[in-house]
Amino acid sequence: MRVLLTGGAGYIGSHTALCLLQAGHDVIVLDNLDNSSPESLRRVQELTGKQAPLIVGDCTDEKTVTRVFEQYPIDAVIHFAGLKAVGESVAKPLKYYQNNLDATMVLCKVMPKYNCNVLVFSSSATVYGTNQEMPLREDFPTGCTNPYGWTKWISERILTDVAAADPTRSFILLRYFNPIGAHESGRIGEDPAGIPNNLMPFICQVASGKLDHLRVFGDDYPTRDGTGERDYIHVMDLAEGHLAALEYAIKRSGVEIFNLGTGTPYSVLDIVHTFEQANDLKIPYEITPRRPGDIAVCYADATRAKELLHWEAKRDLNAMCRDAWNWQKQNPRGYNG
Ligand code: NAD
Ligand code: UD1
């Protein structure tokens, strides 16, 4: 299959590109490099011995997307391209709605002109909003608490409506839980700009001495140790989930939703302690008040993906912590170091 990865130079996209190339597929990347570097794809090539051509361009621009389809016959699209910083989305909602929704709509418009019907979409567990019942199942009610989340929710809606109107379409909505870690080589990984918002990149920068300590946002949640619990998933497991989703989608039509998580929640302190043990170092931390907008617990019911996609996460928390640090250690300044 020849697969177009929008946003394929980014964190999850580059790991997925590697998996697809290793599985014998051809990969084309369309990325505006807003939050990534072409170096990620150069390293994917170094690891696989295969090239994924990069088209530097914007997925919200219909002419650009059309040009890509004119240039390459494409069997399927994995749509990673999107802005993802929750805080920024609250400050600049229009930027998020415009980028994330236009990109989804432009793809929906251009793809059928080239008989390309299969699309796998990067959604997020954030669409489950403040659901209290765990584990989260795909048929639970949805709703969001910030503009970023709503762009995922509305994209899911758009894709569902477009597929309902055209029975030839096959769309898969993947709701990712918390991807962390890196390829085991340490050559590709997560390269956040500025001070990281998310837990694992923050811990990695504390470990490297770039930041002096971790702030644990609240120890008064109704959880085992009082800190927030999440479903962390190794980015390589997540990448493999995309391969399974593609194989499923090409044989069918309609819309399907899958959680991609492990089904096991870990607390902030579980992560800190496992990271310390796996890598034999100390992570100084202090307990601070809760971060506004955070929920206590969030984890997946991962059975649907197991039953229908024949996929489940294989790597444990130890591997996630080891691989995250291996990447950080080798690339203290990310791709541009
Ligand atoms: P990332 O920022 O590393 O990758 C996204 C890529 O999309 C970047 O390379 C960026 O340059 C590109 N991009 C953004 N807007 C574009 C546009 N208009 N045209 C072309 N390229 C564009 O993020 P990631 O962590 O790899 O996430 C990939 C997708 O998964 C995103 O849609 C994100 O919202 C979603 N997601 C991520 C997480 C997570 O924790 N990382 C969780 C749930 C969902
Ligand atoms: C965040 C986003 C969510 C997005 C997800 C994946 C918010 C409010 N939510 O989720 O929309 O889908 O990332 O990109 O930003 N923590 C600390 N100290 C830190 C950082 C985090 O204690 O410096 C805690 C958090 O309170 C939480 C856990 O670590 O309990 C995980 O946080 P994070 O990695 O930011 O992911 P989410 O909050 O799950």
Q: Using one digit for the tens of pLDDT, what is the confidence trace for 231-257?
A: 999 999 999 999 999 999 999 999 999
Going by CA atoms, what residue is nearest to atom 27 of ligand 2?
Answer: 228
Residue 337 pLDDT class (50, 70, 90 cuts): confident
Task: Please indicate whether residue 285, judged by its CB atom, sits closer than 6 Å to ligand 2.
Answer: no
Residue type, 307: E
> Which atom of ligand 1 is found nearest the CA of 12?
26
Residue 123 pLDDT class (50, 70, 90 cuts): very high
Whole-number Cα distances in Å, 252 to 151, 156, 168, 246, 247? 26, 18, 9, 10, 9
Note the pLDDT of residue 290: 97
Note the pLDDT of residue 231: 98
- If you measure from the C-alpha of residue 272 to the centroid of ligand 2, how many angstroms do you get, rounded to a whole number? 14
| CA separation for the pair 172, 77 (Å, rounded) | 10
| CA separation for the pair 294, 232 (Å, rounded) | 16
Whole-number Cα distances in Å, 251 to 120, 158, 255? 13, 22, 12
Q: Is the pTM of this model over 0.85?
A: yes
Count CA atoms closer than 13 A to 165's CA, side-chain side: 9
pLDDT tens per residue, range 76-91: 999 999 999 999 999 9
Query: With 90 as the cut, is the pLDDT of residue 25 above it?
Result: yes
Task: Please indicate whether residue 171, judged by its CB atom, sits closer than 6 Å to ligand 2.
Answer: no
The catalytic position among 11, 128, 148, 176 is 148
**Chain position carrying tokens 């992570």:** 283
pLDDT tens per residue, range 252-275: 999 999 999 999 999 999 999 999
Task: Please indicate whether residue 216, judged by its CB atom, sits closer than 6 Å to ligand 2.
Answer: yes
- If you measure from the C-alpha of residue 265 to the centroid of ligand 2, how many angstroms do you get, rounded to a whole number? 13
Task: Please indicate whether residue 35, judged by its CB atom, sits closer than 6 Å to ligand 2.
Answer: no
Note the pLDDT of residue 163: 98
Are 285 and 253 in contact by the 8 Å Cβ rule? The answer is no
Terminal CA-CA length for the chain? 34
Note the pLDDT of residue 131: 86
Note the pLDDT of residue 336: 87
Task: Please indicate whether residue 176, judged by its CB atom, sits closer than 6 Å to ligand 1.
Answer: yes
User: Of 256, 198, 189, which Cα lies nearest the Cα of 43?
Assistant: 189
Q: Percentage of the chain surpassing pLDDT 90?
A: 98
> Which atom of ligand 1 is found nearest the CA of 103?
18
| CA separation for the pair 118, 95 (Å, rounded) | 27
221 is catalytic: no
Note the pLDDT of residue 4: 99
- If you measure from the C-alpha of residue 282 to the centroid of ligand 1, how many angstroms do you get, rounded to a whole number? 31
- If you measure from the C-alpha of residue 86 to the centroid of ligand 2, how many angstroms do you get, rounded to a whole number? 10
Going by CA atoms, what residue is nearest to atom 1 of ligand 1?
Answer: 10
316 φ, ψ (degrees, to nearest 5):
-90, 180
Q: What is the arithmetic mean of pLDDT over 189-202?
A: 95
> Which atom of ligand 2 is found nearest the CA of 178?
6
Note the pLDDT of residue 247: 98
Note the pLDDT of residue 269: 98
Q: Which ligand is nearest to the CA of 149?
A: 2
Query: With 90 as the cut, is the pLDDT of residue 132 above it?
Result: no
Q: Is 137 exposed, middle or buried (0-12, 13-18, 19+ CB in 10 A)?
A: middle
User: Of 198, 233, 235, which Cα lies nearest the Cα of 80?
Assistant: 235
- If you measure from the C-alpha of residue 35 to the centroid of ligand 1, how many angstroms do you get, rounded to a whole number? 8
- If you measure from the C-alpha of residue 178 to the centroid of ligand 1, how many angstroms do you get, rounded to a whole number? 14
| CA separation for the pair 29, 52 (Å, rounded) | 7
Buried b (16+ CB within 10 A) or exposed e, 112-131: eebebbbbbbbbbbbbbbeb
User: Of 89, 294, 278, which Cα lies nearest the Cα of 199?
Assistant: 294
Q: What is the arithmetic mean of pLDDT over 306-334?
A: 97
Task: Please indicate whether residue 268, judged by its CB atom, sits closer than 6 Å to ligand 2.
Answer: yes
Buried b (16+ CB within 10 A) or exposed e, 200-235: bbbbbbbbeeebeebebbbbebebeebbbbbbbbbb
Task: Please indicate whether residue 9, judged by its CB atom, sits closer than 6 Å to ligand 1.
Answer: yes
The mean predicted confidence, pLDDT, of the chain is 97
